[in-house]
């Protein structure tokens, strides 16, 4: 199985970090190898927060390059 990449995007306080951790735990429970990565920006001042979740049979890096995400979840 190829790895699947999910990008979760929001602003500070919208729960993007919690959402990625919950999703990661569900995927781990389903038997996938999971890697998480997060970028905080100016989250305490309402700035952007981006988290990445990669999962599959074997994941070597949590990095998702520009244009490489399979799914994008965004809060507005």
Q: Note the pLDDT tens digit of each residue in 16-59.
A: 889 999 999 999 999 999 999 987 666 566 778 889 999 999 99
Q: Phi and psi (nearest 5°) for 58?
A: -150, 120
Residue 30 per-residue DSSP state:
T
By C-alpha distance, which of 60, 59, 69 is closest to 31? 59
pLDDT of residue 25: 96
Strands 71-74 and 33-39: unpaired
Note the pLDDT of residue 42. 61
């Amino acid at each position: 199985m190829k790895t699947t990449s999910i990008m979760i995007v929001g602003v500070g306080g919208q729960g993007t970090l919690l959402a990625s951790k919950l999703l990661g735990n569900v995927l781990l429970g389903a038997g996938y190898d999971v890697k998480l990565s997060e970028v905080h920006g100016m989250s305490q001042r309402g700035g952007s927060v981006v988290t990445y979740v990669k999962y599959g049979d074997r994941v070597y890096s949590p990095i998702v390059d520009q244009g490489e995400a399979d799914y994008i979840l965004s809060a507005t």
